[in-house]
């Protein structure tokens, strides 16, 4: 953490430095919880500490492949089983480590953040400070790109990836929402360009194009519900994303179409 704070100090023109350091702190805290609980479990198995009811519940979770309750108290929302949760946790740590080693990434794995709202605020803050606009007068517009990755970063905003569709699929050729293929429940979204714009310029309906845009909610998990945290943000809801469509908006509302940061 000391190296991170020296390498990525608080910078007026680059809010992503603060985002990275804060994310590293959150994941370090979760890592310590996971590590200490496993060490205590190992000592209990060896008979060095008493097997308490809490440790018995912990061991049952490990045997059944569930995420232990003690971990979830310090964790980001997840509905995965234990092996997939650990793989996901390691992937998130590697994402942050690569960022720390190689500098700000060209594209951001939006699903890999512990507190996604901090990243979104950082993108707005960079734009607000660059053009001296109050941050509370900004919102996001969206452009769904036809590529999966990019070697260059946009001049304003950010490229994000890692979202999945639920209830529909994204037709890459047409650049619009489409019906799911048989027996396929989710689809992977291509790169999405988060474009900060002024609130007065926000227009969900693109007048220059035929058709409209469906306002799709983004959730961290498929549970689609969360609790209001002390920061004023939901623990599950992220933000609304505008997706082009030829069909009436009501068509996708009836299908409960949404975007997910992670699958079960």
**pLDDT digit string, tens, across residues 60-90:** 999 999 999 889 888 888 888 999 999 999 9
pLDDT at 54 over 50: yes
Instruction: Examine the pLDDT at 13 and tell me if it is beyond 90.
Output: no
Looking at domain 109-264, its CATH superfamily turns out to be Dynein motor C sequence, barrel region (3.10.490.20)
Q: Mean pLDDT throughout 121-136?
A: 90
The angle, 0 to 180 degrees and rounded to 10, between the axes of the packed helices 16-45 and 116-131 is 160
| Residue 262 predicted with pLDDT over 80 | yes
- For residue 215, pLDDT over 50 is answered with yes
Q: Which helix (H) or strand (E) holds 253?
A: helix 249-254
User: Which pLDDT band holds residue 91 (cuts at 50, 70, 90)?
Assistant: very high
1-105 shares its CATH topology with 109-264 = no
The pLDDT of residue 34 is above 90? yes
Q: Where are the domains of the chain?
A: 1-105, 109-264
pLDDT at 231 over 70: no
Measured between alpha carbons, how far is 32 from 39 in angstroms, rounded to an integer?
10
Query: Cα separation of 43 and 48, whole Å?
Result: 5
Per residue in 175-211, pLDDT (tens digit) is 889 898 888 888 899 999 999 988 888 776 654 444 5
Backbone angles phi, psi at 164, to 5 degrees: -125, 145
Q: What is the mean pLDDT of residues 223-236?
A: 73
Mean pLDDT of 45-71: 88
pLDDT at 89: 94
pLDDT at 204: 67
* φ, ψ (nearest 5 deg) of residue 203: -140, 105
Nearest 5°: the CA angle 96, 102, 103 is 80
Q: What is the pLDDT of residue 7?
A: 87
Q: How far apart are CA 28 and CA 23, in angstroms?
A: 8
Question: Does domain 1-105 match CATH 1.20.1270?
Answer: yes
| Dist CA 125 CA 109 (whole Å) | 19
Chain mean pLDDT for the chain = 87
Q: Please give the C-alpha separations between residue 94 and each of 1, 91, 202, in angstroms, as whole numbers.
A: 15, 5, 36
CA–CA dist 21, 100 (Å, integer): 9
For the cut 50, the answer to whether the pLDDT of residue 252 exceeds it is yes
* CA–CA gap between residue 253 and residue 257 (Å, rounded): 6
pLDDT value for 209:
47
Q: What integer pLDDT is reported at residue 208 of this predicted model?
A: 40
Given a cut of 90, whether residue 46 has pLDDT beyond it is: no
Task: State yes or no: pLDDT of 10 exceeds 90.
Answer: no
The arithmetic mean of pLDDT across residues 142-165, rounded, is 88
Q: How many other CB atoms are there within 10 angstroms of residue 130's CB atom?
A: 12
Q: Read off the pLDDT band of 12 (50, 70, 90).
A: confident
Whole-model pTM over 0.85: yes
């Amino acid at each position: 953490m000391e190296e991170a704070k020296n390498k990525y100090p608080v910078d007026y023109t680059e809010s992503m430095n603060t985002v990275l350091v804060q994310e590293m702190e959150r994941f370090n805290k979760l890592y310590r919880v996971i590590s200490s609980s496993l060490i205590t479990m190992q000592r209990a198995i060896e008979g060095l500490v008493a097997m308490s009811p809490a440790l018995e519940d912990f061991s049952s979770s490990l045997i059944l492949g569930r995420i232990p309750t003690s971990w979830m108290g310090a964790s980001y929302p997840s509905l995965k089983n234990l092996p997939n949760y650990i793989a996901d946790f390691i992937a998130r740590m590697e994402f942050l480590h690569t960022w720390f080693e190689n500098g700000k990434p060209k594209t951001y794995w939006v699903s890999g953040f512990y507190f996604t709202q901090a990243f979104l605020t950082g993108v707005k803050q960079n734009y607000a400070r660059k053009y001296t606009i109050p941050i509370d007068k900004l919102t996001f517009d969206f452009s769904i790109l036809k590529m999966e990755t990019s070697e260059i970063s946009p001049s304003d905003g950010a490229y994000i990836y890692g979202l999945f569709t639920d209830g529909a699929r994204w037709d890459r050729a047409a650049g619009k929402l489409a019906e799911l293929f048989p027996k396929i429940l989710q689809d992977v979204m291509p790169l999405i360009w988060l474009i900060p714009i002024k609130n007065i310029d926000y227009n969900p309906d693109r007048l220059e194009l035929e058709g409209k845009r469906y306002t799709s909610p983004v959730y961290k998990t498929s549970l689609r519900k969360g609790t209001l945290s002390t920061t004023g943000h939901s623990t599950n809801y992220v933000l609304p994303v505008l997706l082009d469509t030829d069909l009436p908006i009501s068509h996708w509302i009836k299908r409960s179409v949404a975007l997910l940061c992670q699958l079960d």
